[in-house]
Amino acid sequence: MRQIALLAGLAYWTGAARDVITDDAHFYGQSPPVYPSPEMVGGNEWEAAFQKAKALVSQMTLEEKVNLTAGVAADSTCSGTIPAVKRLNFPGMCLSDAGNGLRNTDFVSGFPSGIHVGASWSKDLAFRRGAAMGGEFKKKGVNVLLGPVVGPAWRTVRGGRNWEGISVDPWLSGVLVSQTVSGIQGQGVITSTKHYIGNEQETNRMPEGNTSSVSSNIDDKTMHEVYLWPFQDAVRAGSGNIMCSYQRVNNSYGCANSKTLNGLLKTELGFQGFVVSDWGAQHAGVATAEAGLDVAMPGASEFWGNHLVEAVKNGSLPESRVTDMATRVIATWYQFSQDTSFPKPGVGMPSNVLDPHEIVDGRDPAAAPVLLNGAIEGHVLVKNTKNTLPLKSPRMLSLFGYSAKTPDFFNPSSNLLFSQTWISGMEALDSNYVSDNGLPTFGKNGTMFGACGSGAITPALTISPFEALKIRASQEGTAVFNDFVSDKPSVEPSSDACIVFGNAWACEGYDRPAIRDDYTDSLIKSVADQCSKTIVVFHNAGPRLVDGFVDHPNVTAIIFAHLPGQESGPALVSLLFGDTSPSGKLPYTVAKNESDYGDVLDPAQPEGEFVNFPQADFHEGVYLDYRYFDKKGIEPRYEFGFGLGYTTFAYSNISINYIQGANTYPWPGGPIVSGGQTDLWDAIATVSVDIQNTGSVAGAEVAQLYIGIPGAPAKQLRGFEKPFLQPNESQSVTFHLTRRDLSVWSVERQKWQLQQGTYKFYVGSSSRRLPLNGTMDL
């Protein structure tokens, strides 16, 4: 079948090198069949677990194997539970949300969200955050952490769940998701990298009435270079589980799509773990089994369970498929040694935290620096004039805005702020959001340290900016004035500086109504009219435009504080007072106007002849965010990769080195292991530069490498390093480039192709501040 699909694909291919493919009939608008579902083969790092799993599963009855393929109701708040096979000492598994920390239970931490990890550009922090989360999930008896997120890949600018993911750039997301997976799984907790694949908008993500879910129509080249890329990194890092998504991909459901599951994931990427459905994303029985789905959550619904047993008995589905499903589940459990060293599944997830229960404190004091530094490094300073920051023992600070203080009501253990009420919160939001004052009632009530839905966090304790500022002010002898209520507050004339805290909220299930709001813009301007140094701080779950006030002469500093997690207040104070120099960089572009983003600003809507089958055509191909701004010559307000600190850095001495002896044959030839062909990761070249701290305070700099690959967008991120330098100190940093980094996807050959010609290299502090450049011919 696969062979036939590929041959047919060739007929549509004209052979000319094009960078946007819109007529790739076999991948654009329809999903080619790829059957049968590849069985787990073990090998390499999976071999031992595979052998153990085969031995255990061979003792199971058909019914026992089928039981492993769907969730069951359990007396816990695990998001999903795979049942035990007591006879064989398999205790079952607890699967729980999510990628920013464990929610829906007590005594856990609230980590910075995915967007914050992206903004920190720190491999080290991504790894350590993962390890700290993994430690907590394990103590609580959660076998599978439902995260991290690299789908959405931020195609839709107003996307409601982008903030759970890392960045609009696949390379950045890929590096940081790889670190996250390694960090979490190093603790023996399985990651469910999600939502696979093309889950780019919340609008019509589920079928409703006569309207089916939206279809993300993605051509094969874009699929590989943008959407599959970070999943590939996650699989290579060993992610034991992948969650298939709600929406359709090329008109076939994410959890019934043989091309994406059997083809891309289990064949091309050699994935050895198991695929779980998003909750309620299964819409067919035998078809989903054949397409590569292994476990249905939260339960068998009307499709599997007894029906799957019957399907095997009446010959509709070979038993070998069910055996493979069970083997993949059990092998993953063995792979992370959960057979020997794991708490009872769900032990720290009481069904009702208000009832008396055994307390399992998931937190580890050793994670404190990760929570704080993770929060600090994901703040991005984009404007700082009139020597506004850092603050120097101000006599009076005046504070405004609804995102400064702890919410009026906050119950850490029952998750009432960011998660469980998200449905009722959204009811309020529907009626209030834009019409009232641009904010959900909910958002007005307090600071936003995370966002809403299954990626919400429920820390045992959080410190808001207001709380942390008051403590610091008391140490500095600073007077603090605050008015978090008025929309046109009066400012005390003796204020040395004013801070306005706004937010840009988002929630699973809904795309963001807007990427700016008049209420907050007007609040900022009204403060700035009266205060000569006005600092704007946004807690933002995605890009937030600033052109409504950015040119006001008294708006002298702007910070995108993103979603910092429980240490939001202390992190901000550390930056405002200069204990640390800001080092975050934007993991997305901030445009001047909504229209600058082009067609991807808004989610696709059901319309025209497809009103009941909404279609989202990804016709922009790989040209998202800075690739698009570069192509169209659009000047952004703040470009991808941009962020200021309190010091300055000089770049010098670029050296581009082809690794002697590296194989530059255009096509990889290596065997497939987890993540794809082995030689995709062969080293081909290195780029080194010197960076010097030329300012007067210590700070970290994110040095970025962009490459113009022949036949590809003008520049694409292909490296970053984050050295911390004392004043005057300089350091040489080296970027390592693999075959995949320098290749483009060939639709004809179905392989990554190293290009021939001149590669252009650019190094600097953002995607548009690139003082060093050079070339290399291949």
Q: How far is the CB of 590 from ligand NOJ (least distance, A)?
A: 27
Nearest distance from residue 94's CB to ligand NOJ, in Å?
A: 12
Please tell me whether residue 136 adopts helix, strand or coil conformation: helix
| Rounded Cα distance, 422 and 508, in Å | 8
Shortest distance (Å) from residue 342 CB to ligand NOJ: 20
Which one among 225, 278, 517, 625 touches ligand NOJ, defined by CB under 6 A?
A: 278
684, containing H or E segment = strand 683-693
Quote the least distance from Cβ 79 to ligand NOJ, whole Å.
4
- Identify the helix (H) or strand (E) that includes residue 130: helix 123-139
Burial class of residue 665 (count of CB atoms within 10 Å of its CB; 0-12, 13-18, 19+):
exposed
Closest separation in Å from C-beta 108 to ligand NOJ? 16
Identify which of residues 98 and 497 has a Cβ nearer to ligand NOJ in the complex: 98
The sign of the dihedral angle between the CA atoms of 434, 436, 442, 445 is positive
Distance, in Å, from the CA atom of 635 to the CA atom of 767, rounded to the nearest integer, reads: 12
Burial status of residue 337 (CB atoms within 10 A of its CB: 0-12, 13-18, 19 or more): exposed
| Residues in 682-721 at the binding interface with ligand NOJ, rule: CB under 6 A | none
Nearer residue to ligand NOJ within complex by CB, 97 or 324: 97
Residue 215 CB, nearest approach to ligand NOJ (Å):
18
Number of residues that bind ligand NOJ (CB under 6 A): 9
Question: Of 24, 106, 233, 278, which residue is the catalytic one?
Answer: 278
- Is 124 one of the catalytic residues? no
Interface mask (CB under 6 A) for ligand NOJ, residues 279-308, using x and -? Answer: x-----------------------------
Q: Are strands 274-277 and 252-253 parallel, antiparallel or unpaired?
A: unpaired
Q: Which is nearer to ligand NOJ, 97 or 721 (CB)?
A: 97
Measured from the CB atom, the residue of 426 and 500 that comes closer to ligand NOJ is 426
- Contact status: 511 vs ligand NOJ (CB under 6 A): no
Cα(717)–Cα(353) distance, rounded to whole angstroms? 45
Cα 744 to Cα 366, 426, 438, 453, distances in angstroms: 42, 42, 43, 36
Of 435-474, binders to ligand NOJ (CB under 6 A) are 454
Q: Does residue 600 contact residue 155 with C-beta atoms inside 8 Å?
A: yes
Do 558 and 564 meet the contact criterion of CB atoms below 8 Å apart? no
In single-letter form, the type of residue at position 73 comes to: A
Taking the least distance from each CB to ligand NOJ, the nearer of 182 and 245 is 245
Q: 614 to 643, contacts with ligand NOJ by CB under 6 A?
A: none
Q: Which is nearer to ligand NOJ, 454 or 615 (CB)?
A: 454
Phi, psi of 163 (to 5 degrees): -60, -25
**Long-range contacts formed by 47-56: CB under 8 A, 24+ apart:** 48/334, 49/331, 49/332, 49/334, 49/335, 50/272, 50/327, 50/331, 52/330, 52/331, 52/334, 52/339, 53/327, 53/328, 53/330, 53/331, 53/333, 53/334, 54/327, 56/88, 56/90, 56/330
Show the CA angle centred on residue 77, arms to residues 72 and 81, nearest 5°: 25
With 0-12 / 13-18 / 19 or more C-beta atoms within 10 angstroms meaning exposed / middle / buried, residue 284 is middle
676: which strand partners?
A: 673
Task: Out of 76, 79, 212, 406, point to the residue binding ligand NOJ (CB under 6 A).
Answer: 79
Cβ closest to ligand NOJ, residue 56 vs residue 426: 426
- Residues 94-153 binding ligand NOJ (CB under 6 A) are 97-98, 146
Residues 723 and 700: their CA atoms lie apart, in Å, by: 6
Closest contact distance (angstroms) between CB of 507 and ligand NOJ is 12
Q: State which of positions 181-200 bind ligand NOJ (CB under 6 A).
A: 194-195
Q: In angstroms, how far is the first alpha carbon of the chain from the final one?
A: 36
Instruction: Name the residue nearer to ligand NOJ (CB basis): 303 or 422.
Output: 422
Q: Binders of ligand NOJ among 193-232, rule CB under 6 A?
A: 194-195
Neighbouring CB atoms inside 10 A of 38's CB total 18
- Closer CB to ligand NOJ, residue 298 or residue 569? 298
Both tokens assigned to 350: 């009481």
CA distances from 434 to 437, 471, 484, 525 (A): 6, 35, 20, 19
What tokens were used for 331?
Answer: 């092998």
Residue 246's closest CA among 273, 207, 285, 275? 207
Where residue 393 falls (left for φ over 0; alpha for ψ -120 to 50; beta otherwise) is: left
Report DSSP state, residue 261. Answer: I
When the beta carbons of 97 and 639 are compared against ligand NOJ, the nearer one is: 97
Least distance to ligand NOJ, CB of residue 75, Å: 18
Query: Where do contacts with ligand NOJ occur on this chain (CB under 6 A)?
Result: 79, 97-98, 146, 194-195, 278-279, 454
What positions carry a catalytic annotation?
278
